[in-house]
């Protein structure tokens, strides 16, 4: 099998695993008497910045897998891990 097929399969596996995570992980930790410490404008800006960063990492991963950029396993793994961490933190940026 070619290296691109294996890496594409690994990327698909990571994305499927993230999709199967319970979407209400952040909601379970919220108590009724808690008050948001940030404004709606700040949380919206945070989500936009996070999604732009995820998109930029995703674009570079696509360029690596398409052969536009040189193949570097450590770079690819680091970008996949950072996307995973950002997607894991994303639900906490929504108000309840």
pLDDT tens string 16-67? 555 555 554 555 555 566 666 778 888 889 999 999 999 999 999 999 999 9
Residue 70 has pLDDT above 90, yes or no: yes
Q: What is the pTM of this model?
A: 0.60
Residue 95 has pLDDT above 90, yes or no: no
- CA 29 – CA 49 distance, rounded (Å): 24
Domain extent listing, the chain: 3-22+36-93
- As separate numbers, helices (DSSP H) first and strands (DSSP E) second, the chain gives 3, 0
Quote the Cα angle for 91-95-96, to 5°. 100
Rounded CA gap, 87 and 92, in Å?
10
Alpha-carbon span 87 to 90, nearest angstrom? 5
Q: In sequence order, what are the residues at sequence separation of 6 or more whose Cβ sits closer than 8 angstroms to the Cβ of residue 20?
A: none
Q: What pLDDT, on a 0 to 100 scale, did the predictor assign at position 38? A: 79
pLDDT at 93: 80
């Amino acid at each position: 099998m070619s290296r691109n097929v294996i890496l594409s399969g690994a990327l698909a596996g990571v994305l499927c695993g993230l999709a199967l995570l319970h979407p209400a992980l952040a909601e379970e930790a919220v108590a009724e008497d808690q008050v948001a410490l940030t404004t709606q404008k700040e949380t919206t800006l945070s989500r936009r910045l996070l999604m732009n960063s995820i998109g930029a990492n995703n674009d570079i991963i696509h360029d690596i897998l398409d052969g536009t950029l040189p193949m570097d396993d450590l770079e690819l793994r680091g970008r996949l891990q950072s996307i995973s961490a950002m997607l894991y933190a994303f639900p906490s940026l929504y108000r309840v």
